[in-house]
């Protein structure tokens, strides 16, 4: 049978032969296309993947493989020899990768399809559970376009919605490049209002508020809002974040604790805001909320109703007005509203509800003065990267500890300090996105 078929093919003239080749080509393309249409949803009854081969096909197409010879699986598992190789590589200046520039992004985004393909964006949801639970992101950034784009790619899902606040002080080309990237996605946009963010001033809160207002007005039916800055990177996949958010049961989640006494002057005095924030001798009245001030940080996980209330509750609006001339309101405003009974998803002011940064889900940060030997009581091991403003910029050697924590995001990452760490996290998360297990 096959023999006869072969003889027939040999008798074909060149034109017929070409047609035959084309037919074969067409058929294989069709089969490829069909197989790429396979369903990726988990089977909710058994929790098992419907089609492993289908998953493999997608993963081959969309995997984010770290460059060089390093083995990210080993690095994530804490293999010290493998980590040491990346540290040595970081010392060799000639090995340093040139980061993508704003011009590069302006160029590649001219064709959005190619851009998404080249950068391997996941443009379909992986489960009904995620599809039915959209998340809103407020991203406040000012420079480092490559880091921003890699962060966006790592959290991008078509059902979510992303608002980007670009600092007024950022260069025109940076703004253009972010606009160009956003224009490739229907669910990514730039905030309608822009602030010039001054360190430790109200403007940091206002930047998030600008995005929050746009997000509340967006047509996407998002359930929770997460804010990020340009040096954050996720530790969890979208599926894991959705599961975590559902377990919150309608509560917000963030650091919120009794403040140390040295911080109290930050809201007890009037501050002047110029190029930086300067304390004056003028005492402020107490806050219009009839509860104490709690301390926390700028990174929060908020329910949609909480975000809506920010623009509707008149006492909350007075509180925000009152906070505008204080020092670093981002570090107490959310933490205090989280304890205000009128705010949706808040928790009682009793100290039993105090939540430390390590107990909260929002952000994992290694503060230099708390690093140390965990066997001697330190909350976390020593930073494997470098310190900036007393905060660890993570190295590949931090990954093993990072991925064992429950936090959705960690801060800080910088490809100029350790690109290996980010690359391995990208590879790890993409693998987990498709297979639901560790690399």
Ligand X SMILES: *[C@@H]1O[C@H](CO)[C@@H](O)[C@H](O)[C@H]1NC(C)=O
Q: Which is nearer to ligand X, 189 or 294 (CB)?
A: 189
Among 63, 74, 223, 243, binds ligand X (CB under 6 A): 74
Q: How many residues bind ligand X (CB under 6 A)?
A: 7
Q: Which is nearer to ligand X, 60 or 249 (CB)?
A: 60
Q: Which stretch binds ligand X (CB under 6 A): 144-152, 211-219, 357-365, 391-399?
A: 211-219
Q: What residue spans of 156-202 are helical by DSSP H?
A: 172-182
Min dist CB 302 to ligand X, Å, is 17
Q: Which is nearer to ligand X, 74 or 120 (CB)?
A: 74
Distances (CA, A) of 172 to 177, 210, 291: 9, 20, 43
Does 73 engage in binding with ligand X (CB under 6 A)? yes
Does 218 engage in binding with ligand X (CB under 6 A)? no
Catalytic, out of 331, 342, 375, 427: 331
Q: Are 380 and 398 in contact (CB under 8 A)?
A: no
Among 217, 219, 285, 290, binds ligand X (CB under 6 A): 217
Min dist CB 311 to ligand X, Å, is 8
Q: Which is nearer to ligand X, 138 or 346 (CB)?
A: 138
Min dist CB 320 to ligand X, Å, is 16
Cis bond before residue 412 (omega within 30° of 0)? yes
Cα gap 1→302, rounded to integer Å: 68
Does 290 engage in binding with ligand X (CB under 6 A)? no
Min dist CB 242 to ligand X, Å, is 26
Q: What is the DSSP string of 313-333?
A: -HHHHHHHHHHTTSS-GGGTH
Distances (CA, A) of 258 to 16, 289, 391: 82, 16, 22
DSSP annotation of 370 reads: G
Could you confirm whether 331 is annotated as catalytic? yes
Among 51, 71, 101, 171, binds ligand X (CB under 6 A): 71
> Of all residues in the chain, what percent are helix, strand and coil, respectively (each to 5)?
45, 15, 40
Min dist CB 72 to ligand X, Å, is 8
Does 251 engage in binding with ligand X (CB under 6 A)? no
Q: Which stretch binds ligand X (CB under 6 A): 182-190, 209-217, 298-306, 415-423?
A: 209-217
Q: What residue spans of 49-136 are helical by DSSP H?
A: 52-62, 72-76, 80-91, 102-108, 112-118, 128-131
Min dist CB 307 to ligand X, Å, is 12
Cα gap 284→323, rounded to integer Å: 10
User: Strands 391-393 and 409-411: what pairing?
Assistant: unpaired
Cα gap 158→152, rounded to integer Å: 12
Cα gap 227→161, rounded to integer Å: 12
Q: Which is nearer to ligand X, 81 or 373 (CB)?
A: 81
- What is the pattern of x (binds ligand X, CB under 6 A) and - over residues 159-198? ---------------------------------x------
Cα gap 62→122, rounded to integer Å: 7
Cα gap 122→59, rounded to integer Å: 10
Q: Which stretch binds ligand X (CB under 6 A): 71-79, 141-149, 165-173, 220-228?
A: 71-79
User: Strands 232-234 and 386-388: what pairing?
Assistant: unpaired
Among 149, 208, 213, 330, binds ligand X (CB under 6 A): 213
Q: Which stretch binds ligand X (CB under 6 A): 36-44, 213-221, 267-275, 427-435?
A: 213-221
Does 214 engage in binding with ligand X (CB under 6 A)? yes
Through-space distance between the first and last CA atoms of the chain, rounded to whole angstroms: 47
Q: Which is nearer to ligand X, 28 or 192 (CB)?
A: 192
Cα gap 17→368, rounded to integer Å: 71
Q: Which is nearer to ligand X, 55 or 74 (CB)?
A: 74
Q: Which is nearer to ligand X, 76 or 361 (CB)?
A: 76
Q: What residue spans of 368-414 are helical by DSSP H?
A: 399-402
Min dist CB 66 to ligand X, Å, is 10
Sequence-ordered list of residues with C-beta below 8 angstroms from that of 237, at least 6 positions apart, any chain: 429, 432, 433
Q: Which is nearer to ligand X, 73 or 279 (CB)?
A: 73
Q: Which stretch binds ligand X (CB under 6 A): 210-218, 223-231, 331-339, 348-356?
A: 210-218
3-state secondary structure of 400: helix
Min dist CB 424 to ligand X, Å, is 11
- Residue 130 CA to chain centroid, in angstroms? 16
Report CA Rg, the chain. Answer: 25
Using CB under 6 A, list all residues that contact ligand X. Answer: 71, 73-74, 192, 213-214, 217
- Residues marked active site are found at 331
């Amino acid at each position: 049978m096959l023999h006869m078929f072969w003889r027939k093919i040999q008798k074909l003239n060149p034109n017929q032969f070409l047609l035959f080749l084309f037919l074969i080509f067409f058929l294989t393309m069709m089969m490829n296309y069909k197989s790429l249409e396979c369903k990726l949803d988990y089977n909710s009854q058994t929790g098992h993947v419907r089609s492993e081969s289908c998953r493999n096909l997608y993963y081959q197409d969309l995997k984010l493989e770290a460059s060089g010879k390093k083995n990210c699986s080993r690095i994530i598992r804490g293999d010290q020899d493998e980590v040491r190789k990346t540290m040595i590589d970081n010392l060799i200046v000639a090995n340093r990768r040139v980061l993508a520039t704003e011009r590069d992004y302006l160029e590649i985004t001219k064709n959005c399809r190619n851009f998404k393909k080249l950068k391997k964006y996941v443009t379909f949801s992986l489960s009904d559970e995620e599809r039915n639970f959209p998340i809103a992101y407020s991203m406040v950034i000012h420079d480092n376009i490559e880091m921003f784009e890699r962060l966006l790619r790592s959290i991008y899902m078509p059902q979510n919605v992303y608002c980007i606040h670009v600092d007024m002080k950022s260069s025109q080309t940076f703004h253009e490049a972010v606009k160009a990237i956003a224009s490739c996605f229907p669910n990514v946009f730039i905030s309608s209002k822009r602030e010039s963010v001054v360190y430790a001033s109200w403007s940091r809160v206002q930047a998030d508020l600008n995005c929050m207002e746009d997000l509340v007005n967006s047509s996407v039916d998002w359930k929770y809002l997460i804010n990020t800055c340009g040096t954050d990177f996720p530790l969890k996949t979208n599926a894991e974040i959705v599961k975590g958010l559902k377990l919150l049961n309608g509560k917000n989640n963030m650091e919120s604790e009794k403040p140390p006494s040295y911080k109290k002057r930050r809201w007890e005095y009037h501050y002047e805001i110029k190029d930086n924030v300067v304390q004056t001798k003028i005492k402020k009245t107490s806050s219009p909320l009839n509860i104490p001030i709690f301390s926390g940080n700028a990174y929060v996980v908020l329910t949609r109703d909480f975000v809506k209330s920010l623009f509707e509750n008149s006492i909350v609006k007075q509180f925000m007005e009152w906070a505008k001339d204080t020092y670093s309101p981002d570090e107490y405003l959310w933490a205090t509203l989280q304890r205000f009974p009128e705010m949706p998803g808040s928790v009682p002011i009793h100290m039993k509800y105090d939540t430390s940064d390590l107990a909260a889900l929002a952000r994992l940060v290694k503060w230099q003065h708390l690093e140390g030997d965990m066997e001697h009581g330190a909350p976390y091991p020593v930073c494997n990267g470098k310190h900036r403003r007393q905060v660890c910029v993570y190295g590949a050697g931090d990954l093993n500890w990072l991925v064992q924590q429950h936090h959705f995001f960690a801060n800080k990452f910088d490809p100029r300090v350790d690109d290996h760490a980010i690359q391995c996290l990208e590879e790890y998360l993409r693998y987990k996105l498709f297979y639901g297990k560790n690399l």
